[in-house]
């Protein structure tokens, strides 16, 4: 038995692969294009482990994907591969269209051909699980109920629009071709191996480096935060028992304004790694120009996943964020390695000097 994980060298994908192999001996084939966000160092602990095969390549390479499917005969494909950063999608949407839409389409085509050749018993067991985002639902008013699976799709950024398109393709491959698909739409993740272009790892990194902590606009935008390992557990559960063709919202029941998240990070850092001058890291907070089209609020109603499959997050925001800060303090060399040349170019483009 074996599963193929695409995008498994990125933030969530690598946590998923590591957690999978910590809990099971079922082989994992990781397919990852190793873009700026993919990092083999995340999977370094699996070096020499016969249960893991790493393949460098794109989900958009139909021939490669077909060859991997034929060779490894997986019982499931779990698709994390994507361009994932909203700000980058605003500066340059093209990669998002190519990977998230065209790439997902090519992947689906290869999987459809493979699935069509399987005997009936293996077809019955096969799953294609597509990992998506709450951003496809758009932005919520302050007091509106959290997103459930029946909310209308209203994506607002090139990133969320490209993810919405990929979700629709996945749905269509079930409806039209009978491909056994599952889709998860998750809120903001945080935890180990989070690339420091995203709010939480960026703030930890900048704080320790004595740099400013950039808050877009008024800092009152709300996100629902979920510890990455809880997301991985939810995906395993949906893969195991989700109803075919269904979508499941995944969230942490942890709505926080950005400024509150940054203040919490500063307080934990003040305690665990105080500044030498005795000042709080809060003094480094700087309000900067807002993100164009910035969604004001996301909130996820994950009650379907709890009701049908018994999943709930294990971490609260307070426990998860403390673990996360400690991980970054303990893994400064990982941060140093990913914040090299190309990363600095991005900071210049996004935040100026
Ligand atoms: P990430 O940017 O950290 O990782 C993406 C990975 O995909 C990288 O390893 C990259 O090299 C790889 N990749 C990119 N293009 C590829 C291609 N054409 N072929 C193969 N691999 C390719 O992203 P992440 O935060 O780990 O997100 C993973 C998935 O989860 C994405 O689909 C994202 O939309 C979704 N998601 C993320 C969050 C979040 O908070 N980070 C929340 C909900 C859903
Ligand atoms: O909601 C799920 C989504 O969460 C995922 O689909 C995306 O892949 C993931 O990147 C994340 O998107 P966000 O745009 O919400 O995450 P980001 O960390 O970029 O920003 C979180 C919030 O913090 C958002 O309101 C923008 C704000 N922000 C971000 C950065 C990088 C700042 O105020 N300052 C910053 O420097």
Mutate to test the pocket of ligand 2, among 12, 35, 80, 86 (most ligand atoms within 8 A of CB): 86
296 alpha carbon, closest ligand: 2
Residue 245 lies in a domain: yes
Q: pTM value?
A: 0.98
Question: Could you tell me the CATH number of the domain that includes residue 111?
Answer: 3.40.50.720
Residue 96 maps to a domain = yes
- As for how many domains the chain has, the answer is 1
Active site residues: 134-135, 159
d(CA 315, CA 252): 8
Give residue 341's pLDDT: 75
Mutation test residue for ligand 2: of 199, 200, 250, 264, the one with most atoms within 8 Å of CB:
199
Question: Looking at the domain assignment, is residue 321 inside a domain?
Answer: no
Q: Is 263 in the pocket of ligand 1 (CB under 6 A)?
A: no
Distance 148 CA to ligand 1 centre (A): 23
Q: Report CA(81)–ligand 1 centroid distance (Å).
A: 5
Of the candidates 38, 34, 159, the residue with the CA atom closest to the CA atom of residue 92? 159
DSSP string, 48-105: T-TTEEEEE--TT-HHHHHHHHHHH--SEEEE--S---HHHHHH--HHHIIIIIIIHH
Tokens of 164: 């919405």
* Residue 188 domain boundaries: 2-194+226-252+297-316
Which neighbouring-strand residues pair with 128?
Answer: 77, 181
Residue 213 included in any domain:
no
The answer to whether 51 and 21 have CB atoms below 8 angstroms apart is yes
Q: Evaluate whether residue 239 is within a structural domain.
A: yes
* 280 occurs within a structural domain: no
Asked if the structure places residue 278 within a domain, the reply is no
pLDDT along the chain (353 residues), means of 10: 97 98 98 96 97 98 98 98 98 98 99 98 98 98 97 98 99 98 98 98 98 98 98 98 98 97 98 98 98 98 98 98 98 92 84 78
Looking at the domain assignment, is residue 233 inside a domain? yes
């Amino acid at each position: 038995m074996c599963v193929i994980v695409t995008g498994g060298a990125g933030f969530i994908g690598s946590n998923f692969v590591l957690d999978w192999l910590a809990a099971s001996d079922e082989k994992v084939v990781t397919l990852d294009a190793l873009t700026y966000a993919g990092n083999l160092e995340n999977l370094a602990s699996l070096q020499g482990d016969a249960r893991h095969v790493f393949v460098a390549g794109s989900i958009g390479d139909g021939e490669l994907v077909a060859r991997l499917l034929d060779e490894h005969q997986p019982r499931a494909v779990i698709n994390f591969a994507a361009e994932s950063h909203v700000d980058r999608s605003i500066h340059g949407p093209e990669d998002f269209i190519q990977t998230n839409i065209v790439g997902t389409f090519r992947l689906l085509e290869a999987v459809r051909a493979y699935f069509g050749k399987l005997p009936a018993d293996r077809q019955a067991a096969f799953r294609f699980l597509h990992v998506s985002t709450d951003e496809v639902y758009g932005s919520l008013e302050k007091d509106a109920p959290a997103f459930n699976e029946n909310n209308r799709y209203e994506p607002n950024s090139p990133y969320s629009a490209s993810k919405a398109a990929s979700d629709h393709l996945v749905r269509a491959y079930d409806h039209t071709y009978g491909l056994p698909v599952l889709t998860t739409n998750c809120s903001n993740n945080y935890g180990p191996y989070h690339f420091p272009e995203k709010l939480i790892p960026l703030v930890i990194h900048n704080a320790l480096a004595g740099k400013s902590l950039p808050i877009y606009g008024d800092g009152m935008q709300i996100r629902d935060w979920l510890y990455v390992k809880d997301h991985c557990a939810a995906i395993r559960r949906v893969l195991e028992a989700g109803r075919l063709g269904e979508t499941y919202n995944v969230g942490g029941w942890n709505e926080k304004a950005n400024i509150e998240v940054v203040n919490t990070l500063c307080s934990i850092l003040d305690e665990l790694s105080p500044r030498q001058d005795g000042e709080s890291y809060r003094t480094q907070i700087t309000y900067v120009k807002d993100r164009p089209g910035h969604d004001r609020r996301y909130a996820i109603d994950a009650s379907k996943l709890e009701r049908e499959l018994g999943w709930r997050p294990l971490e609260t925001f307070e426990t998860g964020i403390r673990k996360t800060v400690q991980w970054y303090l303990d893994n400064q060399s990982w941060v140093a390695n990913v914040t090299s040349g190309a990363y600095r170019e991005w900071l210049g483009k996004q935040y100026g000097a």
